């Protein structure tokens, strides 16, 4: 394998926090695990490796803190969340650099993720004050009916490595705003953003036990303790469909509330009447963001045969212009994949497509370390792995279509349904197609629809529930109905 592209790196600071955060205090553990930089596999940090005993202790703290936090006034919770938001933004550069080092996200893009992550905290700081029940008319003069919204209880949250900050705040901010306490287990590749975020929560005045972070190399023992603990009332998970399905079963034994944000396989449909230049720019943004490692990345690009050649010619220019390099260089657009396993999956998908007759127009090879060159494939056909599994890499497979009904059938013909995109200037077609797409999120002439105030989530094997907006808050609230006879 060739060497990764070279760069002059500045002296890097030690990560500020590497211990676990339990019951409002930093905790060293008997063993640690390594976080390595995907850029050159250098050691970024040795991080506390918690086990079952610490998980049990964290559960006790979460239960104790819940008694107080659930009764803390909305104004006080809101003020702490607001200070947390300010603190995150004040540390944007540090968090982004940490992200670039722990998982290879280009630092300019990582700065965008920190702002997006902070956006959830800002939004739920405001929404904390708007959690209210309803009155219901009664058919009887002597009865009054109303509802209260109550926090579900202590929460166990599990997050993936591909958004080390935003997946944390998208869960933790609404949970805290609702009055829940949270135990977070970050992905083993990316515990450092989560640890710095909880550090900032504490500095913002977050009380002990309200938000705890348990880094660990093996997620199973810690998760078993917390999922089997009936006092933990909610499990919120973002990650692969395979793991999400397993956790769904485990959570049944304690009847937990559940949110599952799982995998996707997004179709990107470019109709004959599309603005081709805008579509090219947005496919590139959707496909190559985070080196293709997002759950809403375009995975199948369907282009109408009338505009196929024009689209491909302009798309190739855009892809050839992408800057691959050191994630710490602000000019870099594509960094390394997170690790060797991720690279192997991308290689296997491209090799399989090539063997089945697909043409590689650009890329199609590793480019040193865990880098994979931005790649465009044409001649992709049903049955190829790339159309059936998430590639999670910088590979754009292009297919053609001629008929709206045909492309909708193809787009829906997968077991998942997270995000889909349609490019058209015809308003009627935009409505028709968005209604026919079996997806939780549809972008019409928009390749990046996610925003904190809107619902994010999928149908079918893409999961259960929604994050963001008031939907994300209600995932952490139970409805209590009260009927009062007034005499």
CB 38 within 8 A of CB 340: no
Q: What is the DSSP letter of 309?
A: H
Q: What is residue 346's three-state secondary structure?
A: helix
Q: Work out how close the CB of 219 gets to ligand NAD at its nearest, in angstroms, rounded to a whole number.
A: 3
What are the angstrom distances between the C-alpha of 455 and each of 266, 458, 472?
17, 10, 7
17 exposure class (CB count in 10 Å sphere: 0-12, 13-18, 19+): buried
Residue 440 sits in the site that holds ligand NAD (CB under 6 A): no
As a whole number of angstroms, the distance between CA 356 and CA 369 comes to: 27
Mask: binding to ligand NAD, 252-291, rule CB under 6 A, as x and -? ---------xxxx---------------------------
Residue 295 annotated as catalytic: yes
- Select 161 or 372, whichever has its Cβ closest to ligand NAD: 161
Q: What is residue 82's three-state secondary structure?
A: helix
Residue 188 annotated as catalytic: no
Of 295, 297, 390, 475, which one is the catalytic site residue? 295
The Cβ of residue 326 has, within 10 Å, a number of other Cβ atoms equal to: 22
Q: What is residue 341's three-state secondary structure?
A: helix
- Select 310 or 448, whichever has its Cβ closest to ligand NAD: 448
- Select 246 or 354, whichever has its Cβ closest to ligand NAD: 246
- Select 363 or 463, whichever has its Cβ closest to ligand NAD: 463
Q: What is residue 358's three-state secondary structure?
A: coil
Residue 295 sits in the site that holds ligand NAD (CB under 6 A): yes
- Select 246 or 474, whichever has its Cβ closest to ligand NAD: 246
Beta strands in 262-383 (DSSP E): 266-270, 298-304, 359-362, 375-378
The residue range among 13-21, 183-191, 199-207, 281-289 that interacts with ligand NAD, by the rule CB under 6 A, is 183-191
Q: Which of 167, 165, 135 is nearest to 148 (CA)?
A: 135
Cα 168 vs. chain centroid, distance in angstroms? 8
Residue 238 sits in the site that holds ligand NAD (CB under 6 A): yes
Residue 187 sits in the site that holds ligand NAD (CB under 6 A): yes
Using CB under 6 A, pick the residue from 208, 219, 356, 368 that binds ligand NAD. 219
Q: What is the DSSP letter of 408?
A: H
As a whole number of angstroms, the distance between CA 241 and CA 404 comes to: 29
- Select 109 or 261, whichever has its Cβ closest to ligand NAD: 261
The residue range among 1-9, 85-93, 135-143, 217-225 that interacts with ligand NAD, by the rule CB under 6 A, is 217-225
Of 54, 57, 102, 261, which one is the catalytic site residue? 261
What are the angstrom distances between the C-alpha of 227 and each of 209, 213, 222, 251?
18, 16, 9, 6
The residue range among 13-21, 38-46, 156-164, 316-324 that interacts with ligand NAD, by the rule CB under 6 A, is 156-164
Residue 220 sits in the site that holds ligand NAD (CB under 6 A): yes
Give contact residues for ligand NAD (rule: CB under 6 A): 158-163, 167, 185, 187-188, 219-220, 223, 238-240, 243, 246, 261-264, 295, 390, 418, 463
Catalytically active residues, by annotation: 261, 295
């Amino acid at each position: 394998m060739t060497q990764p592209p070279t760069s002059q790196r500045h002296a890097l600071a030690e990560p500020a926090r590497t211990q676990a955060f339990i019951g409002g205090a930093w905790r060293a553990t008997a063993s640690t695990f390594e976080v390595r930089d995907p850029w050159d596999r250098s050691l970024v940090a040795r991080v506390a490796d918690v086990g079952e005993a610490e998980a049990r202790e964290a559960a006790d703290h979460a239960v104790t803190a819940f008694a107080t936090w659930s009764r803390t006034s909305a104004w006080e919770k809101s003020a702490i969340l607001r200070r947390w938001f300010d603190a995150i933004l004040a540390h944007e550069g540090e968090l982004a650099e940490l992200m670039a080092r722990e998982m290879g996200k280009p630092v300019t893009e990582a700065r965008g993720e920190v702002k997006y992550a902070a956006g959830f905290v800002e939004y739920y700081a405001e929404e904390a004050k708007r959690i209210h029940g309803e009155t219901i008319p009664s058919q009887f003069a002597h009865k009054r009916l109303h509802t209260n919204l109550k926090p579900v209880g202590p929460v166990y949250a599990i997050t993936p490595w591909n958004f080390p900050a935003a997946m944390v705040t998208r869960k933790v901010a609404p949970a805290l705003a609702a009055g829940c306490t949270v135990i977070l287990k970050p992905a083993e590749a990316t515990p450092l953003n989560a640890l710095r975020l909880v550090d900032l929560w504490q500095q913002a005045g977050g009380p002990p036990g309200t938000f705890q972070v348990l880094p660990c190399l093996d997620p199973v023992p810690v998760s078993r303790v917390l999922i089997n603990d009936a006092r933990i009332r909610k499990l919120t998970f973002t990650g692969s469909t395979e793991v999400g399905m397993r956790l769904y079963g485990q959570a049944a034994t304690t009847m937990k509330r559940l949110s599952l944000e799982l995998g996707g396989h997004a179709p990107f449909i470019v109709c004959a009447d599309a603005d081709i230049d805008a579509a090219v720019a947005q496919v590139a943004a959707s496909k190559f963001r985070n080196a293709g490692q997002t759950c809403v990345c375009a995975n199948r690009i369907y282009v109408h045969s009338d505009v196929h050649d024009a689209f491909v010619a302009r798309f190739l220019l855009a892809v050839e212009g992408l800057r691959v390099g050191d994630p710490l260089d602000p000019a870099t657009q594509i960094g390394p994949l997170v690790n060797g396993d991720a690279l192997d999956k991308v290689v296997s998908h491209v090799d399989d497509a090539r063997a089945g007759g697909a043409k590689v127009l650009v890329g199609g090879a590793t480019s040193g370390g865990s880098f994979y060159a931005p790649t465009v494939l044409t001649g992709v056909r049903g049955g190829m792995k790339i159309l059936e599994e998430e590639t999670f890499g910088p590979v754009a497979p292009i297919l053609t279509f001629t008929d709206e009904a045909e492309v909708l059938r193809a787009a829906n013909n997968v077991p998942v349904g997270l995000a889909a995109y349609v490019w058209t200037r015809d308003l009627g077609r935009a409505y028709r197609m968005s209604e026919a797409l079996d997806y939780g999120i549809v972008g019409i002439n928009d390749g990046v629809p996610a925003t904190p105030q809107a619902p994010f989530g999928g149908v079918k094997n893409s999961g259960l529930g929604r994050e963001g907006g008031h939907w994300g808050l209600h995932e952490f609230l139970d409805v209590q109905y009260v009927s009062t006879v007034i005499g």
